[in-house]
Amino acid sequence: MSRLSSTLRRPPLARLRGGNNEGVLVLLIAMLSVAVGLVTPSFWSLGTVLNVSTNSLTNLVFAMGVLIVIISGGIDVSFAAIGIFAGYAVIVLANKTGFGAPAAWVGFGIAAVIGLGLGMLNAAAIAGLRLPTLIVTLGTQGIIRGALLFYIGSKVIPNYPPGLDQLSTNYLVTAQGAAAQGAGVTRLSVLIIPAILICVLVSLLLRYTVVGRGIYAIGGDAESARRTGFPVVGIQVIIYALAGVLAGIAGMMHVTQVRLANPYELVGDELDVIAAVVLGGASIFGGKGSVAGTVLGVVLIALIKSSLILLGVPSSWQRAAVGLLLLIGVTAQALSAGGPRRRVDLLAESAP
Amino acid sequence: MSDMAVRVVRRMSAERSLVRLAVLTLAVLIVFSLVSSTYFTVINFQSMGFQVAEVGLLSLAVMLAMFTGGIDLSIISVANVAAIVTAQLLKSTNAATAEPAQALAMTVGFILAGVLAGTACGVLNGLLITRLRITPILATLGTLQLLNGLAIIWTGGEAVYGMPTVFLNIGIASIGQIPVPVIVLFAAAVGTAVFVNRTGIGLRLRLIGANPTAARYSGLDNDRVLMITYVASAFLSSLAGIIIAARSASANADYGVSYLLLAIVIVVLGGVNPMGGYGTVTGVVLAAFVLQMVSSGFNTVGFSSFTYQIAQGAILIGVLGLNALARRYYSEGRPTLLKRRSRTEPATPQPPGREA
């Protein structure tokens, strides 16, 4: 309520900025596009759009799960492990037993169920035992990755079951002679449709459902949420179960897209996704964040990566660039929010 | 429950966790000695000693940050920066082909340079956390990525070789029967223990972790203490980096990524409260040895390294879970979900009157 009224009372410029700095991100993306476009005119092509969309696809779905967790005041570093576990396990299962081999959607269903199960591990430790989220998800990351490599397999699998194989070459749009990485063909996978659908669903969930409002409430202040009547433990279980499901689906998308099931992938690249969510205006202290901001954050990171390639910067610079971008993003956020300290001060002063 | 009782329970549980660790150490020792005949040998313990030092030092680094209620995720990147700076300097000056006396001087000088560079990264962490008010998780997550990225740019993603024998000896030599890395670890542990327990800054550091608001109202300069904490943490990580470079005879931007989880497991297993304030150096060092013994045991028995990864995660959540259940049992439903502690409960003893 107070957020709504404060948005309305703001001057027009601030309203344009958006509740989570979405306006700033749009401006940043536009400026980056113009700058890169001036240096290399081939940037302005359908190929770039397709390239950035293709590269954002899986991170978009991962980011939705991370966003939910971060809004609730937690942090998740296990999503990449869950994703690759689910994706790789489905390929192994389909190749060994033939179950779900003809139809790709069965594979995605299994991946979602695996993700749900692994997400429940997090839910049990966080909601049940009330342990710190970073430490729990670090632990489950180790368990899940170790279990994948030890029990499921540690080899790269090039053979795909027919259903997923077909899906991996099912393109929505194809652009000839695209800009990215010289000549060649840029394609956009049909998987962009479910990815966008998931973003819309998460947005609706966060905005219009009791659970969604509860996620914001818990992130704002768990004790107040409890006293207001939100079932805190129940909502936390939903949060981590849902984050698991989304990670499972995203992992399956990744495995489908790259057409080479490699169990060593994804884990270690978590920061790209967390950075995107934080850049998108979600607060690490909880209670703040939006789907639109997160989508822009994911797009910004993908755009920067492909621009670096386009400008001829060696790919070894990408990691440092994302790190720097994250630090700039959180600095801007910390400065505009005044930091956590002010909040503590207010509390302390009201105390007798 | 009165304050007194709460304090007594906490005191007991702190020592209980040390007793539990000691029992665990014995149990691990007995089990693996029974299973494998090569386990309880001097050579095996020596090889454990060579391996435990680097991760032990990294654990001490994480411990310091956790004492203040924060965390340092950048330990590995900082260690690699120190290692790469030292290795690049030694390589570019051809120290390996220099006269022995000259090589020794260069080695000492360049190790200092490497440690200094790593420690400077700690200043960066400290500035981000105290000046820009970025929460430690995000600040160190950012520097983890940034420093790793800079190291990749500098080395081109390849390992740096070509260090003199004097330098490599740090990682492979023993004095008496004791490996040099273990001696470094013990020296650092004693130094850290003195710093945390016997200096004013150390006491304030734990007070901040126990209750930052109370610490500030007691007139403490939280920012200065936090800065010193993250610099000290980076210093310990840099020492680990030097040992890593000496032991593996190379420096690499991506070395030891799995050490982050391991270091946090060790710190938590050692009885440090992730919310800040409580824990002992003894516990952390003991925990580092226990996990090294488990790892070495898994090796001698022939288990895969993947199962060790599973064990690490399971130990982390298991130990924390047991602690949480025990805490819930002893103090009726303290709101652990919130980081805030109730106002009537004094978090730690009074801050010392003397200034450091």
Q: What pLDDT sits at residue B10?
A: 61
Chain B, nearest residue to A127 by Cα: B337
> CATH assignment of A46-350?
1.10.3470
Q: What are phi and psi of A187, to 5 degrees?
A: -125, 155
- Taking CB atoms and an 8 Å limit, are A134 and B137 in contact across chains? yes
**pLDDT, tens only, A274-331:** 989 988 888 888 898 999 999 999 999 999 888 888 888 887 888 898 889 888 888 8
Q: Which of B146, B306, B336 sits opposite A323 (nearest CB)?
A: B146
Chain A, nearest residue to B260 by Cα: A138
- pLDDT averaged over every residue in chain B: 85
Q: ipTM of the predicted structure?
A: 0.82
Q: What pLDDT sits at residue B342?
A: 41
**pLDDT, tens only, A82-117:** 999 999 999 999 988 887 777 888 899 999 999 999
| Distance of residue B180 Cα from the nearest chain A Cα, in angstroms | 30
Q: How confident is the model at residue A342 (pLDDT cuts 50, 70, 90)?
A: very low
Q: What number is the average pLDDT over the span B214-219?
A: 82
What pTM did the predictor assign? 0.84
Query: Is residue B20 one of the residues assigned to a domain?
Result: no
| Chain centroid, CA B150 distance in Å | 23
Cβ atoms of A141 and A268 closer than 8 Å: no
What pairs with residue B160 in β-bridges?
A: B251
**pLDDT, tens only, A243-256:** 999 999 999 999 99
**pLDDT, tens only, B222-248:** 899 999 999 999 999 999 999 999 999
Q: Is B43 exposed, middle or buried (0-12, 13-18, 19+ CB in 10 A)?
A: exposed
Query: Is residue B172 one of the residues assigned to a domain?
Result: yes
Is the pLDDT reported for residue B354 higher than 60?
A: no
Tally the domains of chain B. 1
* High-pLDDT (> 70) share of chain A, %: 87
Distances (CA, A) of B337 to A126, A322, B324: 9, 32, 11
Residue A182: which H helix or E strand, with range? Answer: none
Q: Scan residues 298-317 of A and list those with Cβ closer than 8 Å to B.
A: 314, 316-317
Domain enclosing residue B215, as ranges: 48-330
The enclosing domain of B223 has a CATH number of 1.10.3470
Chain A, nearest residue to B268 by Cα: A135
Best of A138, A145, A274 to mutate (most B CBs within 10 Å, chain B): A138
Q: Which of A135, A142, A334 sits opposite B134 (nearest CB)?
A: A334
A322 touching chain B per CB within 8 A: yes
Query: Is residue B3 one of the residues assigned to a domain?
Result: no
Is the pLDDT reported for residue A123 higher than 90?
A: yes
A222 touching chain B per CB within 8 A: yes
Query: Is residue B163 one of the residues assigned to a domain?
Result: yes
Residue A129: which H helix or E strand, with range? Answer: none
DSSP letter for A265, please. Answer: S
Q: Where are the domains of chain A?
A: 46-350
CA distance linking residue A194 with residue B174, whole number of Å: 60
